Chain A
Amino acid sequence: MNTATVSEDEGHQEHHDHGLSDFGYIKVAILLGVLTALEVATYFFDFGVVETPSLLILMVVKFQIVVSYFMHLKFDSKVFSYLFVTGLVLAMLVFAAMGTSMAFWQNPSGCDASAFC
């Protein structure tokens, strides 16, 4: 923790860390707060048919912002993105298939226990 280490460390930061400034992160947080307020607004006002899609879009945007900026994925090595996105996409595909199968394909009408279905 002597000064030599510190300055050396700062020199090192410059080439690998292209994140935002502190103020930049605060701005991102404010944006996230606003998006959350928008989400919560759907509870107080009726948005009709656009409510669910807009909530999903807001969720994805917030998710994306936190992952890209707070978790640095936008600035960091692609290896991290591959690892994380593989898990994320796999989870979405697999559980979407499972949910579809269980919610829509199972026990269709006109199908009794003896039939092949």
Chain B
Amino acid sequence: MAMTEESPEILELESGETTPTTGVFARPTNASGWRAWFFTVDHKKIGIMYGVVAMFWFFWGGIEALLIRLQLFTPDGSVLTADQYNQIFTMHGTTMVFLVIMPLAAAFANYMVPLQIGARDVAFPRLNALGLWLFIFGGIFLNLSWFLGGGPDGGWFAYAPNTGVTYSPGNGMDFYALGLQIVGIASLVGSMNLIVTIVNMRAPGMTMLRMPVFTWMILVVQFLLLFALPVITVALVLLSFDRTFDANFFNVAMGADPLLWQHLFWIFGHPEVYILILPSFGIVSETLPVFSRKPLFGYAVIVISGAAIGFMGWGVWAHHMFVSGLGPVGVAAFSATTMFIAVPTGVKILNWIATMWGGNIRFTVPMMFSVSLVSMFTIGGLSGVMHAVAPADTQQTDTYFIVAHFHYVLFGGALMGLFAGMYYWWPKAFGYKLKESLGKWHFWLVLVGFNMTFGPMHILGLQGMARRHSRYGPEDGFDFWNAVVTIGAFVILVGMIVFAVNIVRTWLGYKAGTIPQAPADPWDGRTLEWAIPSPPPEHNFDYVPVVTDLDDFWYKKYQPDETGKLRKIADGNDIAQKGDQHPHLPSASYWPIVLAAGFPLIALGLIYNLWLSGIGLLLMLGSIFGWSLEPATDPDAGHDGHRDGHDPDLNDTDGSDAEIVEEAPVG
């Protein structure tokens, strides 16, 4: 952004020269204020915005969870009506899956992947911004339903025909189907962008097997998104057509098979489970070696098992449907595949334990969260293997045992890993560490509260307490454990409040100067993001890092001496880049946010009035037009016009020059 200040004089210099691809409108040039965030294409700002918005939805989804728990605190709870309860638990699941864990992973992926591979930005910065704004508008659209006649009430899995107009006459499910469609497009755009970034923009020398594990897991996740999202897109389209245009896809009277929805949803839904957990696996594969001061045990095995989970995740979806009338052959087949997928997951657990074994462990907050992922996820994983045994699953389906299982993997697994990532990368992103003392309070409160909340659900489930019921009677004997569960949920709330206090207090302390500025390499890290200042300059790297090893940065700091013992040869903060160069970067743009704004308008139009869709469509077409005529980098903004001065033999034709080649018209 610094170079935009020079632009007036450059403009004069170049005013006579017309470039054929200049945009129709002026470009945003503000380097500060809200415009710097709304129109940015910088992957780091986009990553932070993903994180902030996801934390807002986390707060909102948490309130929904607490409402559920208040309702179930005592027998015959009267906090919510049955209808409200349906809406709340549907939106709790939908929010936590699509608006919290996925975007939090996207936040880390956007921020860290370019840094870890030594790139200055992602391949398509404007598409990146488009993905962010689609996610934000999709989330807002989904939650607009609260104010327009009530939320969706068919569960986050939205089993048709239960979610058809007959059984769900309100507009809630329309908001669900269309809102997820928008959020899905956001993820699809983001996945293509990150795949290309990782495949094409790694630093010289960084072969695939020298990539950090986090980047590897993000790559696997993006492939899962790339191939899974079209399936949910089709399922949601069928549901929307049924609801809006009276199609018959799930009309049993016309001979439709309700299992079609279940198959399509879970063909997406099971890869989705790995989409949620693999980023956290990647995060702890970064933190465990750093805080154990040992290389990751079995790097290649971890990478391969991650990819294997990605592949095998496509062959197990019907284990969500064991009691749906799948037939004995189907049940047996999917039961077997499900047991197999436990193998690569178990391999990872063993590798992490072996990484810590004999290490010089520092129990910092990120390390504590990482260790708790390993242990809590193992519990959830083991109850998952129990579900693979179909006869046992028949007993457990639709009970709180299932609720306990997936909260152990998604909260105890995914979320714990994401918190580890927040504490670990906070100094990189913001320039100061979060307070360790408050962080430890946060950790212990969350860990204890989490086990109080979801541990007893195993017992409740085996006692036969059914999911998704808004009440249980005093005669059921579920009182005690439900009370414990609700108290546990509030312990988690206290832990999260401590986290919020930690964020605010360290921020104020940093402003006041009592919290020190974090150096480039505060944790003695192993990967490239620690080789640049904290927070990174807008262009990330002054010089392209040349990579010769896995954990290259570590080996720039430590080398074996004659006896083979690793000796420190340099301090990370000394050899880190200084961030004092000013290269030419992709320029900010209005179009991503404008284009994204067209989508919720179209969706609202489909529910209320097609004219609104027309307006949205026009907005979309106009902004696609403006987008494609605007060069990715403003030719007026930098040192020179970029129309000349290119070495003809260098990359002019291979198109790695993102500033001249127009983006492929896919988004």
Contacts and interface: CB of A to CB of B under 8 A. Distances in A.
Judged by CB atoms under 8 Å, the answer to whether A and B touch is yes
Given A79-B199, A106-B259, A116 B328 contact: yes
A71 to B, nearest CB: 15
Interface in A19-73: none
Contact of A90 (B314, B325, B330): B314
A6 interface: no
B327 A94 contact: no
Nearest to B648: A8
A101 B267 CA distance: 13
A108 B328 CA distance: 8
Contacts of B26: none
B648 A116 contact: no
A2 B402 CA distance: 68
B18 interface: no
B229 to A, nearest CB: 12
The prevalent SS among residues of A at the interface is helix
Contacts of A101: 263, 318, 326-327, 330
A104 B231 CA distance: 22
B32 interface: no
Contacts of B331: 116-117
Nearest to B318: A101
B246 interface: no
Interface string A82-112: 0000110010011001100110111110010
B514 interface: no
Contacts of B231: 94
Nearest to B259: A102
B197 to A, nearest CB: 14
A12 interface: yes
Contacts of A94: 231, 267, 314
Contacts of A93: 314-315
Given A93-B314, A94-B267, A105 B391 contact: no
B314 A117 contact: no
Contacts of A87: 226-227
A104 B259 CA distance: 13
Contacts of B263: 98, 101-102
A97 B314 CA distance: 11
Interface in B314-352: 314-315, 318, 325-331
A14 interface: no
B400 to A, nearest CB: 22
Given A12-B653, A116-B394, A105 B314 contact: no
Interface string B133-167: 00000000000000000000000000000000000
Interface string A1-18: 000000011001000000
A97 B327 contact: no
B571 interface: no
A8 B652 CA distance: 11
Interface in B88-127: none
Nearest to B200: A79
A47 B227 CA distance: 38
A17 to B, nearest CB: 11
Given A90-B314, A94-B267, A106 B327 contact: yes
Contacts of B257: 102, 106
B326 A105 contact: yes
Contacts of A97: 315
B227 A86 contact: yes
A102 B315 contact: no
Contacts of B315: 93, 97
A78 to B, nearest CB: 12
Contacts of A86: 223, 227
B546 interface: no
A106 B325 contact: yes
Contacts of A104: 329
B661 interface: no
Given A93-B314, A94-B314, A107 B325 contact: yes
B392 to A, nearest CB: 12
Nearest to A98: B263
Contacts of A12: 653
B260 interface: yes
A111 B231 CA distance: 30
A79 B196 CA distance: 11
Nearest to A82: B199
Contacts of A105: 326-330
B662 to A, nearest CB: 17
Contacts of B327: 101, 105-108, 111, 117
A101 B315 CA distance: 12
Contacts of B391: 116
B328 A117 contact: yes
A30 B311 CA distance: 39
A23 B329 CA distance: 53
Contacts of A117: 325-328, 331
A102 B257 CA distance: 9
Contacts of B260: 102
A97 B263 CA distance: 10
A102 B317 CA distance: 14
Given A12-B653, A116-B391, A117-B331, A106 B326 contact: yes
Nearest to B257: A102
Nearest to B322: A116
A1 to B, nearest CB: 11
16 contacts: A12-B653, A94-B231, A94-B267, A97-B315, A98-B263, A98-B267, A101-B318, A102-B259, A105-B327, A106-B259, A106-B327, A106-B330, A108-B327, A116-B391, A117-B326, A117-B328
Interface of A: 8-9, 12, 79, 86-87, 90, 93-94, 97-98, 101-102, 104-108, 111, 113, 116-117
Given A94-B231, A116-B390, 14 more contacts: A12-B653, A79-B199, A90-B227, A101-B326, A102-B259, A105-B326, A105-B327, A105-B328, A105-B330, A106-B259, A106-B325, A116-B331, A117-B326, A117-B331
3 closest pairs, A vs B, by CB? A105-B327, A105-B330, A105-B329
